[in-house]
Structure 1
Amino acid sequence: MTPPPVEPPVTTPPTTPPVEPPATPPPAEPPVDPPTTPPTTPPPVEPPAGTVIRLIHLNDLHAHLTPHVEQIRDAAGTLQNVTMGGLARIATRINQLRAQQPNSLLMNIGDTYHGGVEAMFTIGNAIIAPVDALGIDIGVPGNWDFAFSPQVTTDRYNPSLSAPIPNPVGTVLGPNFPNLAGNVTVDRLRGGSQPLLPATAMFNVAGVQVGFIGITSDIVPQMSPLLALRMNFLTARADYLALINDNAQQLRNAGAQIVVVMSELGIHKDLDLANDITPGAVDAVFSAHTHEATFTMLTSNSGTVVVEAGNDTYLGYMDFEIANGAVINKNWMLEAIDDSIAQDPTVLSLVNAARADFLGAGINIALPSGFAGFMLTESIDTIVGTTQIPLRRRQALENTFNNSMTDVMRQFANTDLAMVPGFRFDSIVTAQGAIEDNMVVNGDITLEDLYRFYPVPFYISAGQVSGQVLTDTIEQNLNAVFSTTAFEQWGGWFNGYSGLDLVVDLAAPSGMRIQSMSLSANGMAINPTDMLSIAGCTRPVDQESATTLCSYPGFVNVAPLTNPATGESMTPVDMIRYGLDNGTFNTTIRNNIVDQNSTLMWPNDNVYQPLTGVQ
């Protein structure tokens, strides 16, 4: 069911010259191109008292097209593995919510076109058509949407800023809905800079002016400076407060009765900012990036509420009741996208079409970037092994997948230690003999599962590290995950390690969280001057590859390992398959990190990562 017409958005950049809207392929029912100047007067007609405006919140799709296993807690607090998500089911529920409340707008916030094999081998192009079919009204890119390269980013979101040469990875498709990002500018090739995307947009829905402020991720330069080439991201907390307050005031002056922020900064930073923005400026902040499922609105000192809708396995919506030109009530709901929801046939057809090239016989797909060793030659539903333990990344400090991955890396490389990045994205694989969807499962691992854990082109490498550099790396990582200063947090969760016994106090001050550190093999304490061998990862975009491991500097003699089956550099997917074939992957559950503070986190608390840090 199609919602009634909504006046198209008016978009404006933050105190910078107007930006020409990005060129995008036309949707089946294209919206009117948004003008580039805001309205100068409030709407002349006051909406009826008690008008309700619904904002639907989808975040962090991570290119998940199909249903997949999610870990939840039931009413009794018991952990269960159930199948959730799927774009066709999401579409059905969106249509139902619009039918219930025609005065609705759909937001898509955070990582969308990156994640999984279909996105990795098509630079996100395979995800465009199914997502476009949802009828999204407004969006904000996520940090991983910048990960294909700066030129892919500009080609996708604002082609006028791209270099006037063909993109070496081919044609890049863009979304059919407007996106916002007020915290990024791009250096023009002939001097000066301009916003990557507008900062704000305004919609008129049933006579109510709804203003949006969009903020994308601030961590792209930390992911890799090459991914942020020519781009300038706001970093200071004060700058973000000014961005929100200034744009909120502009929207209010232009007649907005509802003002919301869509943010990919993560719920920790968003809640921190909400505490200090001007009271009454913003009605709600809709978060993404941190994958937290907030079933109850978080309140802030300013009165602004903050919510996040988990990931693709949930859909949130907030109803705003308007009277006398102001919001008088807000109601938030977060719903699971489960198998009780039918699949929308139109979107399901687009999903099947997007996946067709990755299923069946005769597959031979190269990575568009051309990086060596990354070829897909098998159907992604190929079963590559089974698991005796649950594989997941859902614990922020230590989890079963990262432990299994680092164990096989350390064994293969014959090193003292191994480490992997603390990514949030995954695809939960239920252990053999365990219950999934109320049925006993056989623990099959598919090739598609492996690319869900590693939809990134990097190589397994080995080198050496001193005890001091290892200490500094771990302390930096712990602070980035658990700091009480929100703007010191960045990245995902804590890195995974093998061969390391670690005792920490997460409530200790920055730089002092490690209480002891020793080798698992012999219990020997690690001293600052010790030199240890370590396996990890390097990326084709690492500028100092001989001294960088898993994006951290200070290592020495780092070099990719060779896959004995192909003679090429070992990829993460190759590494897992080696371990499965040799019985060295996912063999036992272990816990080698002890937190003396006994910090509550999922699954013993409602959040993966404490919302205000650990103190």
Structure 2
Amino acid sequence: MFARFLLSAAVLGLGTGAALAEQVTITLLGVGDVYNFEEEDGRGGFARLNAVARAERAANPNTLYLFDGDMLSPSLMSGFDKGQNTIDLTNIVPFDLAVPGNHEFDFGPENFFEKMKASKYPWAAINITNADGSAIEGLGGVMMKEVAGLKVALIPVAQDTSPQVSSTGDLKFLPTVKTAIAAAEQAIEDGADLVVGVVQTDMVNDRALLASHAFDVILSGDDHSYATAYDGVTAYVETSVDGQFLNPVDLKIDISEKDGKRVIKWTPEFRFIDTADVQPDPETQAMVDKLAAGLDETLGVEIGTTETALDSRRNVVRGEESTMGNLIADAMRAQTGADIALMNGGGIRADRTYDAGAKLTRRDILSELPFGNVTVVTEIPGSQVLGALENAVSQVEKGAGRFAQVSGLTFAYDAAAEPGKRVSEIMVGDVPLDADKLYTVAVNDYILGGGDGYAALGGGRIVTEGVTGALVANDVMAYIEKMGNVAPKVEGRIRKLGQ
């Protein structure tokens, strides 16, 4: 950090005695959280993203195109190909560097390793190792690139909470912020002229990275939002979602010499691109059209009708009883014969509503359940069911994906109470939950393995193992096809006390 301060002091001390030698522009184009191969409402998608990347490189050869996490999943297509479509589409206009997001591990680490090998660009993350701390083959670290005669250090950092929200196996994740700052400071020691953080992490960590002033630029994904900032030391971009809004940053750099030493001074210029105004890249669009045609044939099949309105909006499935949540949980329980079913709201993804009378298709269900999770039945005592429900509402005020949609039971909770002491009035059918009684509980394999904080589900007798269970999406489709018409209602399964 001391070396970083000396550089800043030298920049600020640039005086009239310095002879201006050169002016260059380096463009940084960051993108993250790109899941869907197609546009949405005429905006985003890989064809428009690739068009922008091509145009930026054509306009300025000193352009770095950087990916800050999350594309292999979740999406409708990834339920079939485990994210290969995103690799094929990004290989058309390769990144200079890609950082794995937590969703790169939704289908397990082996799938990510396969997709990494299929990529025509390098993947890197300085804070992911094998369980024994050794480096992962093919996954790089800090990348020092020479651009316009300058040494640009790219610091690739993944989200350290990935093991809690994805299927990372036994991979080890070091602390995001601490590891990133240490690497940035080391890059300065190693002679970097510019330090760029390419990070997949939430805004809380982003603020900590910004406050460190260890970086010149931070490009961050994960939050699905668009933001820019500059505090006079560090420029920052939160890179939107699905390539809908892009923000190339042009670093206007003066390179001069003073007292025999090179002095670098730069200012950022943020440019806003609404991809609704971008003509799709023809080569990419041809691949997109082929993918879409294949999906339409398979997924356009109608499987039933909903007699009531369905709601899978993110704020609903992560904070209250939802008709879509009830439908999914009911299907899991009906297809397995379990006493209870729990579905984490974060696994319900389409973020939309359906009118009463809507015809439901395979596409609808796979859009809601894109992760490829398997329905598993475990037998656990009521005390663990209580623990699972406490976990479900432990972060409800944050809109966390662990919030549970349920079937076969009802409960109440007090969000104002201390986490772990919020749940009460649990009824299984018409009978109060018995802490010592064994119940069969249908869940998805992700939360059974402790995902989203569901450690309470572990240790039970597995009635249906993952290798023999059906996909959750298949269970729901089969249930709707069997019923013909479904009519889920919000009926008081989950009650928030004080309302």
For this structure pair, what is the TM-score category when the shorter chain's length is used for normalisation? Answer: 0.7 to 0.9
CA distance in 1, matches of 2:38, 2:204: 29
Residue 198 in structure 1 maps to residue 120 in structure 2: no
CA distance in 2, matches of 1:327, 1:550: 50
Residue 344 in structure 1 maps to residue 281 in structure 2: yes
CA contact (8 A) 1:85 1:313 kept: yes
Change over 3 Å in CA distance of 1:475–1:501 after alignment to 2: closer
Give 1:122's aligned amino acid. Answer: D
CA distance in 1, matches of 2:480, 2:42: 24
CA distance in 2, matches of 1:282, 1:390: 45
Query: What is the aligned partner in structure 1 of residue 224 from structure 2?
Result: 292
Say which SS state the counterpart of residue 423 (structure 1) adopts: helix
Query: What is the aligned partner in structure 2 of residue 232 from structure 1?
Result: 172
CA distance in 1, matches of 2:358, 2:140: 46
Change over 3 Å in CA distance of 1:327–1:555 after alignment to 2: farther
C-alpha distance after superposition, 1:164-194 (max 9, x if no partner)? xxxxxxxxx5211122110122379xxx822
Equivalent in 468, 471, 476 of residue 571 of structure 1: 471
Give 1:186's aligned amino acid. Answer: N
Change over 3 Å in CA distance of 1:577–1:132 after alignment to 2: same
Equivalent in 31, 34, 39 of residue 67 of structure 1: 39
Change over 3 Å in CA distance of 1:531–1:329 after alignment to 2: farther
Gaps of 5+ in 2: 1-18, 256-262
Gaps of 5+ in 1: 1-44, 69-81, 158-172, 361-378, 434-441, 484-488, 563-567, 599-615
TM-score for both structures, normalised by structure 2? 0.76
CA distance in 1, matches of 2:293, 2:492: 40
Q: Please give the residue correspondences for 1:140-155 in structure 2 after superposition, counting only pairs within 5 Å.
A: 140-155=99-114
Equivalent in 93, 113, 119 of residue 175 of structure 1: 119
Q: How far 1:419 sits from its partner (Å)?
A: 0.9
CA contact (8 A) 1:47 1:208 kept: no
Query: What is the aligned partner in structure 1 of residue 188 from structure 2?
Result: 252
Give 1:454's aligned amino acid. Answer: L
Query: What is the aligned partner in structure 2 of residue 14 from structure 1?
Result: none
Residue 421 in structure 1 maps to residue 344 in structure 2: yes
Query: What is the aligned partner in structure 1 of residue 203 from structure 2?
Result: 267
Change over 3 Å in CA distance of 1:429–1:228 after alignment to 2: same
CA distance in 1, matches of 2:327, 2:230: 35
Residue 56 in structure 1 maps to residue 29 in structure 2: yes
Say which SS state the counterpart of residue 573 (structure 1) adopts: helix
Query: What is the aligned partner in structure 2 of residue 27 from structure 1?
Result: none
Equivalent in 119, 136, 139 of residue 78 of structure 2: 119
Query: What is the aligned partner in structure 2 of residue 497 from structure 1?
Result: 406
Percent identical among aligned pairs is 21
Residue 108 in structure 1 maps to residue 67 in structure 2: yes
Residue 431 in structure 1 maps to residue 354 in structure 2: yes
Say which SS state the counterpart of residue 346 (structure 2) adopts: coil
CA distance in 2, matches of 1:47, 1:473: 64
C-alpha distance after superposition, 1:259-309 (max 9, x if no partner)? 22222233333334544x3xx3113433333x431335497xx96565433
Say which SS state the counterpart of residue 226 (structure 2) adopts: coil
Query: What is the aligned partner in structure 1 of residue 258 from structure 2?
Result: none
CA contact (8 A) 2:385 2:457 kept: no
Change over 3 Å in CA distance of 1:403–1:59 after alignment to 2: farther
Q: Please give the residue correspondences for 1:201-220 in structure 2 after superposition, counting only pairs within 5 Å.
A: 201-220=143-162
Say which SS state the counterpart of residue 180 (structure 2) adopts: helix
More helix by share: 2
Query: What is the aligned partner in structure 2 of residue 459 from structure 1?
Result: 374
Change over 3 Å in CA distance of 1:133–1:322 after alignment to 2: same
C-alpha distance after superposition, 1:201-245 (max 9, x if no partner)? 2334434443211112334544678x434x3322xx4xx444223
Change over 3 Å in CA distance of 1:282–1:403 after alignment to 2: farther
Q: How far 1:312 sits from its partner (Å)?
A: 0.9
Say which SS state the counterpart of residue 136 (structure 1) adopts: coil
CA distance in 2, matches of 1:247, 1:65: 34
CA distance in 1, matches of 2:252, 2:114: 39
Equivalent in 390, 403, 424 of residue 516 of structure 1: 424
Give 1:496's aligned amino acid. Answer: Q
Say which SS state the counterpart of residue 295 (structure 1) adopts: strand
CA distance in 2, matches of 1:100, 1:594: 57
Change over 3 Å in CA distance of 1:428–1:586 after alignment to 2: farther
Residue 404 in structure 1 maps to residue 348 in structure 2: no
CA distance in 1, matches of 2:62, 2:122: 19
CA contact (8 A) 1:429 1:443 kept: no
CA distance in 2, matches of 1:140, 1:147: 15
CA contact (8 A) 1:314 1:334 kept: no
Query: What is the aligned partner in structure 1 of residue 463 from structure 2?
Result: 559
Give 1:316's aligned amino acid. Answer: L
Give 1:518's aligned amino acid. Answer: I
Q: How far 1:314 sits from its partner (Å)?
A: 2.4
Q: How far 1:453 sits from its partner (Å)?
A: 3.0
TM-score for both structures, normalised by structure 1? 0.63
CA distance in 2, matches of 1:330, 1:140: 23
